Protein backbone atom coordinates (compact mmCIF):
# COMPACT_ATOMS: atom_id res chain seq x y z
CA UNK A 1 0.00 0.00 0.00
CA UNK A 2 1.36 3.37 -1.03
CA UNK A 3 0.27 6.54 0.73
CA UNK A 4 1.03 10.01 -0.51
CA UNK A 5 1.15 12.97 1.84
CA UNK A 6 1.22 16.09 -0.32
CA UNK A 7 1.20 19.86 0.03
CA UNK A 8 3.24 19.74 3.21
CA UNK A 9 6.19 21.64 4.63
CA UNK A 10 9.29 19.74 5.70
CA UNK A 11 12.25 20.67 7.83
CA UNK A 12 15.24 19.70 5.69
CA UNK A 13 18.87 20.58 6.41
CA UNK A 14 17.99 23.30 8.86
CA UNK A 15 15.33 24.95 6.71
CA UNK A 16 11.58 24.71 6.38
CA UNK A 17 10.79 23.86 2.76
CA UNK A 18 7.35 24.53 1.23
CA UNK A 19 5.39 22.39 -1.26
CA UNK A 20 6.78 19.03 -0.28
CA UNK A 21 5.53 15.46 -0.40
CA UNK A 22 6.23 12.26 1.47
CA UNK A 23 5.53 8.93 -0.15
CA UNK A 24 4.97 5.98 2.17
CA UNK A 25 5.29 2.37 1.12
CA UNK A 26 3.51 0.27 3.74
CA UNK A 27 5.17 1.20 7.02
CA UNK A 28 8.22 2.90 5.53
CA UNK A 29 9.12 6.25 4.04
CA UNK A 30 9.81 5.57 0.39
CA UNK A 31 10.61 9.08 -0.74
CA UNK A 32 10.17 12.75 0.13
CA UNK A 33 11.12 16.10 -1.30
CA UNK A 34 9.81 19.09 -3.20
CA UNK A 35 6.69 18.33 -5.26
CA UNK A 36 7.88 20.09 -8.41
CA UNK A 37 5.32 18.34 -10.60
CA UNK A 38 6.73 14.90 -9.68
CA UNK A 39 4.16 12.21 -10.51
CA UNK A 40 3.93 9.19 -8.24
CA UNK A 41 1.42 6.36 -8.02
CA UNK A 42 -0.37 5.80 -4.72
CA UNK A 43 -3.34 4.02 -3.17
CA UNK A 44 -4.33 6.73 -0.69
CA UNK A 45 -3.49 10.39 -0.31
CA UNK A 46 -3.62 13.06 2.36
CA UNK A 47 -3.56 16.80 1.73
CA UNK A 48 -1.49 18.44 4.47
CA UNK A 49 -2.72 21.89 3.35
CA UNK A 50 0.68 23.48 3.77
CA UNK A 51 1.21 22.21 7.29
CA UNK A 52 4.54 21.10 8.72
CA UNK A 53 5.33 17.40 9.01
CA UNK A 54 7.77 16.38 11.73
CA UNK A 55 9.18 13.04 12.83
CA UNK A 56 7.02 11.67 15.65
CA UNK A 57 8.34 12.15 19.16
CA UNK A 58 10.03 9.18 20.81
CA UNK A 59 9.23 9.50 24.49
CA UNK A 60 11.68 7.41 26.49
CA UNK A 61 9.95 7.68 29.86
CA UNK A 62 6.30 6.68 30.11
CA UNK A 63 4.20 4.72 32.60
CA UNK A 64 1.48 3.03 30.56
CA UNK A 65 0.13 1.03 33.57
CA UNK A 66 -2.65 -1.40 32.41
CA UNK A 67 -2.95 -4.88 34.03
CA UNK A 68 -3.91 -4.38 37.69
CA UNK A 69 -3.38 -0.63 37.35
CA UNK A 70 -5.69 -0.24 34.37
CA UNK A 71 -7.98 1.94 36.47
CA UNK A 72 -5.22 4.58 36.17
CA UNK A 73 -4.43 4.01 32.48
CA UNK A 74 -4.37 1.17 29.98
CA UNK A 75 -2.42 0.49 26.81
CA UNK A 76 -5.16 1.98 24.68
CA UNK A 77 -5.83 5.18 26.65
CA UNK A 78 -2.11 5.74 27.24
CA UNK A 79 -1.06 5.26 23.63
CA UNK A 80 -4.06 7.29 22.39
CA UNK A 81 -2.77 10.15 24.59
CA UNK A 82 0.58 9.72 22.86
CA UNK A 83 -1.00 9.89 19.40
CA UNK A 84 -2.69 13.23 20.17
CA UNK A 85 0.54 14.51 21.65
CA UNK A 86 2.50 13.81 18.48
CA UNK A 87 4.32 10.92 20.14
CA UNK A 88 4.74 7.83 17.95
CA UNK A 89 6.96 5.65 20.16
CA UNK A 90 7.18 5.31 23.93
CA UNK A 91 9.31 3.40 26.40
CA UNK A 92 7.29 1.87 29.21
CA UNK A 93 8.58 1.77 32.81
CA UNK A 94 8.48 -1.44 34.90
CA UNK A 95 6.83 -0.26 38.16
CA UNK A 96 3.59 -1.98 37.25
CA UNK A 97 1.27 -4.36 39.03
CA UNK A 98 2.60 -6.99 38.64
CA UNK A 99 6.03 -5.36 38.24
CA UNK A 100 7.84 -6.11 34.99
CA UNK A 101 10.67 -7.96 36.66
CA UNK A 102 10.86 -11.46 35.20
CA UNK A 103 10.69 -12.94 31.70
CA UNK A 104 7.21 -14.45 32.14
CA UNK A 105 5.74 -11.17 33.33
CA UNK A 106 7.36 -9.30 30.47
CA UNK A 107 5.93 -11.81 28.04
CA UNK A 108 2.43 -11.36 29.52
CA UNK A 109 2.74 -7.61 29.30
CA UNK A 110 3.87 -7.69 25.68
CA UNK A 111 1.12 -10.11 24.73
CA UNK A 112 -1.49 -7.94 26.36
CA UNK A 113 -0.17 -4.78 24.74
CA UNK A 114 0.37 -5.82 21.16
CA UNK A 115 -3.21 -5.58 19.91
CA UNK A 116 -4.07 -2.51 21.95
CA UNK A 117 -1.24 -0.11 21.21
CA UNK A 118 -1.67 2.82 18.83
CA UNK A 119 2.01 3.79 18.98
CA UNK A 120 5.20 1.77 19.17
CA UNK A 121 6.07 0.60 22.65
CA UNK A 122 9.37 -0.62 24.05
CA UNK A 123 9.38 -2.25 27.47
CA UNK A 124 11.88 -1.84 30.26
CA UNK A 125 12.30 -4.35 33.08
CA UNK A 126 13.59 -4.19 36.61
CA UNK A 127 17.01 -5.81 36.43
CA UNK A 128 18.00 -8.93 38.35
CA UNK A 129 21.30 -9.74 40.03
CA UNK A 130 21.17 -12.93 38.00
CA UNK A 131 22.94 -12.61 34.67
CA UNK A 132 20.88 -15.43 33.14
CA UNK A 133 17.56 -13.78 34.01
CA UNK A 134 18.72 -10.48 32.52
CA UNK A 135 19.77 -12.25 29.32
CA UNK A 136 16.36 -13.87 29.13
CA UNK A 137 14.62 -10.52 29.70
CA UNK A 138 16.45 -9.15 26.70
CA UNK A 139 15.65 -12.22 24.66
CA UNK A 140 11.98 -11.72 25.50
CA UNK A 141 12.16 -8.15 24.21
CA UNK A 142 13.31 -5.84 27.03
CA UNK A 143 14.65 -2.69 25.45
CA UNK A 144 16.46 -1.42 28.54
CA UNK A 145 16.53 -1.91 32.32
CA UNK A 146 15.12 0.53 34.84
CA UNK A 147 15.93 0.73 38.52
CA UNK A 148 14.70 3.03 41.28
CA UNK A 149 17.83 3.68 43.32
CA UNK A 150 15.89 4.25 46.56
CA UNK A 151 14.85 0.59 46.46
CA UNK A 152 18.51 -0.41 46.89
CA UNK A 153 19.63 1.99 49.59
CA UNK A 154 20.44 0.30 52.90
CA UNK A 155 21.25 2.04 56.17
CA UNK A 156 24.83 2.66 55.14
CA UNK A 157 23.87 3.72 51.62
CA UNK A 158 26.32 1.16 50.33
CA UNK A 159 24.30 0.29 47.21
CA UNK A 160 25.69 -3.25 47.35
CA UNK A 161 22.77 -4.77 45.52
CA UNK A 162 22.95 -2.22 42.72
CA UNK A 163 26.66 -2.99 42.43
CA UNK A 164 25.77 -6.64 41.73
CA UNK A 165 23.08 -5.63 39.25
CA UNK A 166 25.46 -3.39 37.35
CA UNK A 167 27.91 -6.23 37.11
CA UNK A 168 25.15 -8.59 35.92
CA UNK A 169 24.12 -6.37 33.00
CA UNK A 170 27.44 -4.77 32.14
CA UNK A 171 28.11 -6.62 28.92
CA UNK A 172 24.58 -6.62 27.66
CA UNK A 173 24.81 -3.46 25.65
CA UNK A 174 21.56 -2.20 27.12
CA UNK A 175 21.01 0.97 29.06
CA UNK A 176 20.28 0.88 32.76
CA UNK A 177 17.83 3.74 33.31
CA UNK A 178 18.15 5.08 36.84
CA UNK A 179 15.84 7.06 39.06
CA UNK A 180 18.44 8.77 41.28
CA UNK A 181 16.26 10.35 43.93
CA UNK A 182 14.85 9.39 47.30
CA UNK A 183 11.09 9.42 47.74
CA UNK A 184 10.15 12.72 49.38
CA UNK A 185 6.68 12.72 50.95
CA UNK A 186 4.23 15.42 49.91
CA UNK A 187 4.39 16.86 53.43
CA UNK A 188 8.15 17.14 53.23
CA UNK A 189 7.95 18.74 49.78
CA UNK A 190 5.45 21.32 51.03
CA UNK A 191 7.78 22.21 53.91
CA UNK A 192 10.73 22.64 51.56
CA UNK A 193 8.65 24.72 49.16
CA UNK A 194 7.51 26.97 52.02
CA UNK A 195 11.14 27.61 52.84
CA UNK A 196 11.89 28.07 49.12
CA UNK A 197 14.81 25.72 49.52
CA UNK A 198 15.17 22.49 47.57
CA UNK A 199 18.92 22.29 48.16
CA UNK A 200 18.52 19.13 50.24
CA UNK A 201 16.80 17.25 47.40
CA UNK A 202 19.29 18.48 44.81
CA UNK A 203 22.16 17.42 47.02
CA UNK A 204 20.71 13.91 47.22
CA UNK A 205 20.05 13.73 43.46
CA UNK A 206 23.62 14.82 42.73
CA UNK A 207 25.06 12.49 45.38
CA UNK A 208 23.19 9.39 44.20
CA UNK A 209 24.08 10.16 40.60
CA UNK A 210 27.73 10.33 41.57
CA UNK A 211 27.49 7.03 43.46
CA UNK A 212 25.82 5.14 40.60
CA UNK A 213 28.19 6.54 38.01
CA UNK A 214 31.21 5.46 40.02
CA UNK A 215 29.76 1.92 40.13
CA UNK A 216 29.05 2.05 36.39
CA UNK A 217 32.63 3.14 35.73
CA UNK A 218 33.82 0.05 37.61
CA UNK A 219 31.62 -2.36 35.62
CA UNK A 220 31.33 -0.63 32.26
CA UNK A 221 27.53 -0.43 32.57
CA UNK A 222 25.69 1.91 30.20
CA UNK A 223 23.62 4.38 32.18
CA UNK A 224 20.71 6.71 31.44
CA UNK A 225 19.89 9.14 34.25
CA UNK A 226 16.13 9.75 34.40
CA UNK A 227 14.36 13.07 34.97
CA UNK A 228 17.30 15.25 36.00
CA UNK A 229 15.77 18.04 38.08
CA UNK A 230 18.86 19.88 39.36
CA UNK A 231 21.80 21.47 37.54
CA UNK A 232 24.30 19.93 39.98
CA UNK A 233 23.32 16.48 38.68
CA UNK A 234 24.34 17.51 35.17
CA UNK A 235 27.66 18.70 36.45
CA UNK A 236 28.27 15.25 37.92
CA UNK A 237 27.14 13.52 34.72
CA UNK A 238 29.46 15.73 32.70
CA UNK A 239 32.40 14.77 34.92
CA UNK A 240 31.77 11.09 34.17
CA UNK A 241 31.31 11.41 30.40
CA UNK A 242 34.79 10.06 29.66
CA UNK A 243 34.45 7.13 32.07
CA UNK A 244 30.88 5.97 31.51
CA UNK A 245 28.50 5.69 28.55
CA UNK A 246 26.01 8.00 30.27
CA UNK A 247 23.04 9.93 28.89
CA UNK A 248 20.36 12.00 30.60
CA UNK A 249 16.81 13.21 30.23
CA UNK A 250 14.69 16.11 31.45
CA UNK A 251 10.90 16.19 31.70
CA UNK A 252 8.69 18.88 30.19
CA UNK A 253 7.45 19.75 33.69
CA UNK A 254 10.92 20.29 35.15
CA UNK A 255 11.66 22.60 32.22
CA UNK A 256 8.49 24.65 32.33
CA UNK A 257 6.85 24.43 35.73
CA UNK A 258 8.16 25.32 39.18
CA UNK A 259 7.21 24.87 42.81
CA UNK A 260 5.06 28.00 42.90
CA UNK A 261 2.50 25.74 41.25
CA UNK A 262 2.65 23.30 44.16
CA UNK A 263 1.65 26.18 46.43
CA UNK A 264 -1.15 27.16 44.05
CA UNK A 265 -2.75 23.83 43.14
CA UNK A 266 -1.26 21.45 45.73
CA UNK A 267 -1.23 17.67 45.17
CA UNK A 268 -2.07 17.85 41.45
CA UNK A 269 1.40 19.31 40.92
CA UNK A 270 3.06 16.68 43.12
CA UNK A 271 5.63 14.64 41.23
CA UNK A 272 8.78 12.68 41.91
CA UNK A 273 11.31 14.27 41.65
CA UNK A 274 9.45 17.35 42.93
CA UNK A 275 9.31 20.60 40.98
CA UNK A 276 12.11 23.00 41.78
CA UNK A 277 12.42 26.81 41.63
CA UNK A 278 11.75 28.99 38.61
CA UNK A 279 15.46 29.76 38.46
CA UNK A 280 16.33 26.03 38.44
CA UNK A 281 13.86 25.39 35.61
CA UNK A 282 15.41 28.23 33.63
CA UNK A 283 18.89 26.86 34.23
CA UNK A 284 17.82 23.37 33.11
CA UNK A 285 16.44 24.93 29.95
CA UNK A 286 19.74 26.69 29.31
CA UNK A 287 21.70 23.48 29.92
CA UNK A 288 19.39 21.62 27.56
CA UNK A 289 20.06 24.18 24.81
CA UNK A 290 23.78 23.94 25.48
CA UNK A 291 23.70 20.17 24.96
CA UNK A 292 24.21 19.00 28.55
CA UNK A 293 20.91 17.07 28.52
CA UNK A 294 20.39 14.43 25.85
CA UNK A 295 16.64 14.06 25.57
CA UNK A 296 13.25 15.45 26.59
CA UNK A 297 10.61 13.10 28.04
CA UNK A 298 7.10 13.29 29.44
CA UNK A 299 7.35 10.92 32.45
CA UNK A 300 3.63 10.38 31.78
CA UNK A 301 2.53 9.02 35.18
CA UNK A 302 -1.27 8.89 35.45
CA UNK A 303 -3.09 8.19 38.71
CA UNK A 304 -6.79 8.14 39.58
CA UNK A 305 -7.99 11.57 40.71
CA UNK A 306 -8.86 10.29 44.19
CA UNK A 307 -5.27 9.03 44.59
CA UNK A 308 -4.08 12.57 43.90
CA UNK A 309 -6.33 13.98 46.60
CA UNK A 310 -5.10 11.88 49.53
CA UNK A 311 -3.11 13.44 52.37
CA UNK A 312 -0.13 11.61 50.87
CA UNK A 313 -0.94 12.00 47.16
CA UNK A 314 0.63 9.81 44.48
CA UNK A 315 3.31 11.61 42.49
CA UNK A 316 2.96 12.18 38.76
CA UNK A 317 0.46 13.28 36.12
CA UNK A 318 -0.45 12.49 32.50
CA UNK A 319 1.73 14.48 30.09
CA UNK A 320 1.74 12.55 26.83
CA UNK A 321 -1.05 14.43 25.09
CA UNK A 322 0.68 17.77 25.61
CA UNK A 323 4.19 16.81 24.51
CA UNK A 324 4.35 18.25 20.98
CA UNK A 325 2.21 21.36 21.73
CA UNK A 326 4.35 22.19 24.77
CA UNK A 327 7.59 21.85 22.82
CA UNK A 328 6.28 23.79 19.81
CA UNK A 329 5.05 26.55 22.11
CA UNK A 330 8.57 26.82 23.49
CA UNK A 331 9.84 27.10 19.90
CA UNK A 332 7.31 29.87 19.25
CA UNK A 333 8.49 31.68 22.39
CA UNK A 334 12.08 31.46 21.22
CA UNK A 335 13.19 29.22 24.09
CA UNK A 336 13.98 26.28 21.80
CA UNK A 337 14.84 25.82 18.16
CA UNK A 338 12.77 23.50 16.00
CA UNK A 339 15.99 21.58 15.40
CA UNK A 340 16.36 21.13 19.19
CA UNK A 341 12.91 19.55 19.36
CA UNK A 342 13.67 17.14 16.51
CA UNK A 343 17.08 16.31 17.94
CA UNK A 344 16.14 15.94 21.62
CA UNK A 345 12.68 14.43 21.29
CA UNK A 346 13.02 12.22 18.19
CA UNK A 347 16.50 11.57 16.81
CA UNK A 348 18.53 11.24 20.00
CA UNK A 349 16.12 8.92 21.86
CA UNK A 350 16.22 6.59 18.83
CA UNK A 351 20.02 6.60 18.95
CA UNK A 352 20.29 6.08 22.71
CA UNK A 353 17.85 3.16 22.78
CA UNK A 354 18.99 1.80 19.42
CA UNK A 355 15.64 2.05 17.71
CA UNK A 356 16.65 1.36 14.18
CA UNK A 357 15.10 3.39 11.38
CA UNK A 358 13.15 5.66 13.69
CA UNK A 359 13.39 9.23 14.90
CA UNK A 360 13.89 11.04 11.60
CA UNK A 361 12.36 11.61 8.19
CA UNK A 362 14.67 9.53 6.02
CA UNK A 363 14.15 7.17 3.11
CA UNK A 364 13.78 3.60 4.41
CA UNK A 365 12.82 4.79 7.91
CA UNK A 366 9.50 3.89 9.53
CA UNK A 367 6.78 6.39 8.67
CA UNK A 368 6.21 7.72 12.19
CA UNK A 369 5.10 11.23 11.37
CA UNK A 370 3.14 14.13 12.79
CA UNK A 371 1.37 16.85 10.85
CA UNK A 372 1.22 19.92 13.05
CA UNK A 373 -0.98 22.96 12.75
CA UNK A 374 1.26 25.74 13.94
CA UNK A 375 -1.61 28.22 13.85
CA UNK A 376 -3.91 26.30 16.19
CA UNK A 377 -3.88 27.94 19.61
CA UNK A 378 -5.70 26.28 22.48
CA UNK A 379 -6.08 26.51 26.21
CA UNK A 380 -5.26 23.32 28.09
CA UNK A 381 -8.32 21.92 29.83
CA UNK A 382 -8.43 18.70 31.82
CA UNK A 383 -11.56 17.49 30.07
CA UNK A 384 -9.78 17.43 26.71
CA UNK A 385 -7.44 14.72 27.99
CA UNK A 386 -7.95 11.27 26.53
CA UNK A 387 -5.96 9.73 29.37
CA UNK A 388 -7.98 8.13 32.16
CA UNK A 389 -6.36 10.73 34.43
CA UNK A 390 -8.32 13.91 33.79
CA UNK A 391 -6.12 16.52 35.42
CA UNK A 392 -2.97 18.32 34.44
CA UNK A 393 -0.59 20.80 36.05
CA UNK A 394 -0.56 22.59 32.67
CA UNK A 395 -4.28 23.45 33.04
CA UNK A 396 -5.09 26.90 31.68
CA UNK A 397 -1.84 27.26 29.75
CA UNK A 398 -2.19 28.55 26.20
CA UNK A 399 -0.36 26.34 23.73
CA UNK A 400 0.22 26.71 20.03
CA UNK A 401 0.74 23.83 17.60
CA UNK A 402 -1.71 20.96 17.41
CA UNK A 403 -0.92 17.47 16.07
CA UNK A 404 -3.63 17.40 13.41
CA UNK A 405 -2.60 14.03 12.01
CA UNK A 406 -0.37 11.28 13.36
CA UNK A 407 1.00 8.41 11.30
CA UNK A 408 2.39 5.34 13.05
CA UNK A 409 4.20 2.79 10.85
CA UNK A 410 2.56 4.45 7.86
CA UNK A 411 -0.97 4.24 9.26
CA UNK A 412 -2.93 7.40 9.99
CA UNK A 413 -4.15 6.93 13.58
CA UNK A 414 -5.22 10.53 14.27
CA UNK A 415 -7.14 12.52 11.70
CA UNK A 416 -8.12 16.09 12.58
CA UNK A 417 -7.18 15.53 16.25
CA UNK A 418 -9.49 12.51 16.45
CA UNK A 419 -8.29 9.00 17.16
CA UNK A 420 -9.10 6.78 14.18
CA UNK A 421 -6.69 3.94 14.99
CA UNK A 422 -8.24 0.90 16.60
CA UNK A 423 -5.18 -0.39 18.42
CA UNK A 424 -2.48 -2.72 17.14
CA UNK A 425 -0.99 -0.15 14.73
CA UNK A 426 2.00 0.27 17.02
CA UNK A 427 4.82 -2.26 17.07
CA UNK A 428 6.62 -3.76 20.00
CA UNK A 429 10.00 -2.07 19.89
CA UNK A 430 13.10 -4.09 20.42
CA UNK A 431 16.68 -3.15 19.82
CA UNK A 432 17.48 -6.76 18.96
CA UNK A 433 15.59 -9.28 16.83
CA UNK A 434 12.06 -9.45 18.16
CA UNK A 435 10.25 -12.72 18.80
CA UNK A 436 6.79 -11.36 19.15
CA UNK A 437 3.74 -11.27 17.00
CA UNK A 438 3.07 -10.47 13.39
CA UNK A 439 3.54 -6.81 14.14
CA UNK A 440 7.05 -6.93 15.53
CA UNK A 441 9.77 -5.03 13.73
CA UNK A 442 11.61 -8.18 12.76
CA UNK A 443 8.75 -9.27 10.56
CA UNK A 444 7.79 -5.82 9.29
O1 LIG B 1 6.17 11.17 39.75
C2 LIG B 1 6.46 10.00 39.56
N3 LIG B 1 5.53 9.08 39.26
N4 LIG B 1 7.76 9.62 39.67
C5 LIG B 1 8.12 8.32 39.64
O6 LIG B 1 9.29 8.03 39.72
C7 LIG B 1 7.11 7.26 39.52
C8 LIG B 1 5.92 7.77 38.84
C9 LIG B 1 4.75 6.82 38.91
O10 LIG B 1 4.92 5.66 38.52
O11 LIG B 1 3.67 7.22 39.33
ZN1 LIG C 1 8.75 7.83 35.81
Distance 266 CA to ligand 2 centre (A): 20
The Cα–Cα gap between 300 and 295 comes to: 15
Residues 6 or more apart whose Cβ sits within 8 Å of residue 418: none
Active site residue 299: yes
The Cα–Cα gap between 385 and 338 comes to: 25
What's the pLDDT at 440? Answer: 42
The Cα–Cα gap between 34 and 121 comes to: 32
| More reliable by pLDDT, 442 or 410 | 410
For 65, phi and psi rounded to 5 degrees?
A: 60, -115
Q: What are residue 228's DSSP bridge partners?
A: none
> Average pLDDT of 276-299?
98
Which atom in ligand 1 lies closest to the alpha carbon of residue 303?
Answer: 11
pLDDT at residue 354 is higher than 70: yes
**Distances in whole angstroms, Cα of residue 47 to Cα of each of 58, 166, 310, 388:** 25, 50, 48, 32
- Look at residue 5 and give its three-state secondary structure: strand
230-248 pLDDT tens trace: 999 999 999 999 999 999 9
The Cα–Cα gap between 280 and 198 comes to: 10
> Average pLDDT of 147-168?
87
pLDDT at residue 439 is higher than 90: no
What's the pLDDT at 155? Answer: 67
pLDDT at residue 433 is higher than 50: no
What's the pLDDT at 444? Answer: 35
102-137 pLDDT tens trace: 999 999 999 999 999 999 999 999 999 999 999 999
378-387 pLDDT tens trace: 999 999 999 9
Burial class of residue 179 in the structure, from the number of CB atoms within 10 Å of its CB (0-12 exposed, 13-18 middle, 19+ buried): buried
| CA-closest candidate to residue 380, choices 372, 391, 388, 369 | 391
Q: What is the distance, to the nearest Å, from the Cα of residue 121 to the centroid of all Cα atoms in its chain?
A: 10
CA distance from start to end of the chain: 13
> Average pLDDT of 87-113?
98
- Reported pTM: 0.96
Q: What are residue 248's DSSP bridge partners?
A: 225
| CA-closest candidate to residue 253, choices 74, 395, 78, 70 | 395
Which atom in ligand 1 lies closest to the alpha carbon of residue 179?
Answer: 6
pLDDT at residue 436 is higher than 70: no
Q: Atom 3, ligand 1: which residue's CA is nearest?
A: 316
315 Cβ inside 6 Å of ligand 1 = yes
Cβ atoms < 10 Å from Cβ of 37: 5
What's the pLDDT at 154? Answer: 73
Contact 193, 262 (CB under 8 A): yes
> Average pLDDT of 421-429?
98
For 104, phi and psi rounded to 5 degrees?
A: -65, -40
pLDDT at residue 63 is higher than 90: yes
The Cα–Cα gap between 84 and 405 comes to: 8
301 Cβ inside 6 Å of ligand 1 = yes
Average pLDDT taken over every residue of the chain: 95
What are the E-state strand segments in 180-303?
222-225, 246-251, 295-297
Hey, which of 63, 92, 189, 305 would you mutate to test ligand 1's pocket, going by the most ligand atoms within 8 Å of its Cβ? 63
Contact 130, 169 (CB under 8 A): no
363-377 pLDDT tens trace: 999 999 999 999 999
272 Cβ inside 6 Å of ligand 1 = yes
Amino acid sequence: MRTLIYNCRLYINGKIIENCFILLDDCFIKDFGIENGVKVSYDAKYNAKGRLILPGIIDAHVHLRDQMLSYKEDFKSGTASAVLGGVTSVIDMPNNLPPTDDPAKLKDRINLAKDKILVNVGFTCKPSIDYVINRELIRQGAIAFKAFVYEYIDDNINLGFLDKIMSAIAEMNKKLMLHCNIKASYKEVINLVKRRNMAKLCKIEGYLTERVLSLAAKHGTKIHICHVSCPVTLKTINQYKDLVDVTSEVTIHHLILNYDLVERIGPLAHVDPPLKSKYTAKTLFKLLREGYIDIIVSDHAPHALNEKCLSDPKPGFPNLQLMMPILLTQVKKGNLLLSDVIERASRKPALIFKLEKRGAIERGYYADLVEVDLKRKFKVKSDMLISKAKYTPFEGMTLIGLPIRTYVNGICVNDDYMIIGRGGEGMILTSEVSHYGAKSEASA
